[in-house]
Amino acid sequence: MASWKLSSKAQSDLDRLDDYILERFGVQTAEQKLKEFYDTAAYLARNPYLGRTWQETEYRGYLFNSRTWVVYKVQNEGVYILRLFDARTNPENWR
């Protein structure tokens, strides 16, 4: 069965994103967006090559919700999500 895992940095990114949505849009929207992220992570685990090659590295990137890049590494049993970041920022800053 395909699985996914978050790095500690990705978990921090997700927590920050969730806090922002909760503050700006409320509990219901925050819960909905979190569920959408979990669904996307599971979808990537089942389809690990869906994302495009990321900056000539072994990583892949997938644009989630048209604003947030999910950067991940394909592993034997699924994907390891390294970072989440706003698509409007410089991708060099995510490392």
> For tokens 């790095």, what's the residue?
7
Q: Assess if CATH 3.30.2310.20 describes domain 3-88.
A: yes
Per-residue confidence (pLDDT) for residue 83, from 0 to 100:
94
Enumerate the domain spans of the chain: 3-88
∠ at Cα 91 (86, 95), nearest 5°? 105
Element at 69 (helix H, strand E): strand 68-75
pTM of the model: 0.88
The string of pLDDT tens digits covering residues 4-49 is 999 999 999 999 999 999 999 999 999 999 999 999 999 999 999 9
